[in-house]
Amino acid sequence: MKLSVAIPESSLSDESLKIDKTRKISVLARACSIFKIDTIYVYQEGGNYKQDGNLMVMILKYLETPQFLRRRLFPKMNDLKFAGVLQPLKIPSHITPSNQKKINRGDVREGIVVSVKGKKFVDVGVNQLIQFFGKTAIGKRITVQFKEGYPRLSVKEIEKKEAPTYWGYSVKERSNLFSLLSEWKGNIIITSRKGRTATKEQISKYTTSEKPTLVVFGSPDKGVHEIIGGRMKNVQNAKSLNFFPNQATETVRLEEAILGTLAIINAQSMS
C-alpha cells in the first residue's frame, strides 16, 4: 500500500515559539517515517503562513536527509537554529555502515555528487570517494546501488523507489489543496469529524487497492471541508472518514491525528 499525506502550511499555527514549532515538525516527520509515507504534501490555504510553511518544508527535508550529507546540503540558517531538539528518524537510508569493507554488491545508499580534478565522484559516507559516470549535476543528492562491493566499489544511480526497503519520504509543496486533489491519480481519504466512522470495512477498500492513497488533514482552525468549500463536490475518488469518533477533546492536534489515523490504517492493512 502506497500512502501519502497532505498537511497545510498553517499546521504550526498553534505553536508560538520556533523551538516548539521545530519539535512539532520532528513529531510529524517521525510519524510519517514510522508508517512509511511516500510523499508529504504541504499545501497553502490562504492566510499569512508562508514563513511557517517554509520552516516545515525545510526541516522535513533536513530530517529525511542522512546525517553525513546534511552539512553539505544545508548551510547554517536561522530555520535550523533549534535542530538540536530534532529526534533522528533512524530509517534504513540513515542506518548504513561507514566502514567500506562492509559494503556488498546490491547495497543501496544515499550520496552526493562531487568533483575532484574535473572528474565526478559520489560521497556515500565512507572514507573513500567512488567514481561516478552518471549525468546528475555536481552538488546534487542521489540514490545509488553498488554494482560491486568492497574492494572495487562501483555504483549506478537508481530511483529511490527501487530501494529494497523503505527509503524515506519526499516533500512537495502545492499552491492549494483543491488542485492537489484534482490532480491526484488514486484514492483520497479526507479526515474529518463530519465523515463516516472509519470501520474495518471502509478502510479495507484502500488497503487492498493497488492505487496510491492520499490521506488529507485539515488545519488547527479549519477542517478540510471548510478549506475547500463548495468545490468539495468536484473532488473525485474521495471519502470523508472520522478516525476519532466520540472524541472527548474539543480538537485533535495534527500530530495526534497523523499518528492515530496512520496507525489505524496500518493495523487494518496487516489484518
Rounded percentage of the chain residues whose pLDDT exceeds 70 = 100
261 lies in the same domain as 187? yes
| Final residue belonging to a domain, choices 116, 136, 162 | 162
Whether 227 and 119 share a structural domain: no
Residue-by-residue DSSP string for 64-106: HS-HHHHHHHS-S-GGGTTGGGPPP---TTT---S-GGG--TT
167 found inside a domain: no
Instruction: Report the pLDDT value the prediction gives residue 173, as an integer from 0 to 100.
Output: 97
* Structural domain contains residue 8: yes
pLDDT higher than threshold 80 for residue 271: no
pLDDT of residue 13: 93
Predicted confidence (pLDDT) at residue 233 exceeds the cutoff of 90: no
Dist. CA 252–CA 220, nearest whole Å: 9
- E strands, 176-230, where? 187-197, 213-216
Read off the CATH number of the domain in which 49 is found. 3.40.1280.10
CATH of the domain at 118: 2.40.50.140
Same domain, yes or no: 149 and 38: no
| Whether residues 228 and 111 fall in one domain | no
Distance CA(165)–CA(160), nearest Å, equals 10
Q: Does residue 95 sit within a domain?
A: no
Q: Give the residue from 112, 133, 162 where a domain finishes.
A: 162
The predicted-structure confidence for 41-84, as pLDDT tens digits, reads as follows 999 988 899 999 999 999 999 999 999 999 999 988 899 999 99
Same domain, 38 and 149: no
Q: With contact defined as beta carbons under 8 Å apart, do 83 and 60 qualify?
A: no
pLDDT at 163 over 80: yes
Q: 218 with 264, same domain? A: yes
- Tell me what pLDDT residue 255 has: 95
Q: What pLDDT digit, counting tens, does each position of 191-201 carry?
A: 999 899 999 99
| 269 pLDDT tier (thresholds 50, 70, 90) | confident
Report d(CA 174, CA 6) in Å as an integer: 9
Q: Do residues 73 and 195 both lie within one domain?
A: yes
* Helix (H) / strand (E) containing 25: helix 18-34
Same domain, 20 and 72: yes
Bond prior to 212 in cis (omega within 30° of 0): no
- With residues binned 3-state (H G I as helix, E B as strand, rest as coil), the percentages for the chain, rounded to 5, are 35, 25, 40
What pLDDT shows up at residue 154? 95
Are 73 and 204 in a shared domain?
A: yes
Number of domain units in the chain: 2
Are 61 and 181 part of one and the same domain? yes
Of 110, 135, 162, the residue that ends a domain is: 162
- Is the domain of 76 the same as that of 31? yes
What tens digit of pLDDT does each residue of 143-152 get? Answer: 999 999 999 9
Please state, for a pLDDT cut of 90, what percent of the chain lies above it.
85
- Residue range 99-143, pLDDT digits in tens: 999 999 999 999 999 999 999 999 999 989 999 999 999 999 999
Considering the domain boundaries, does residue 195 fall inside one?
yes
What local confidence, expressed as pLDDT, does residue 85 receive? Answer: 97
Question: How far, in Å, CA of 155 to CA of 108, rounded?
Answer: 9
Residue 235 belongs to what domain range? 3-90+172-270
Taking the CA atoms of residue 105, residue 109, residue 113 and residue 116 in that order, the dihedral angle to the nearest 10 degrees is -50
Q: Please report the pLDDT score of residue 264 as a whole number.
A: 96
Structure confidence at residue 127 (pLDDT): 87
What whole-number distance in Å separates Cα of residue 41 and Cα of residue 28?
A: 12
Asked whether residue 67 is domain-assigned, the answer is yes
Examine the domain organization and report whether 181 and 260 are in the same domain.
Answer: yes
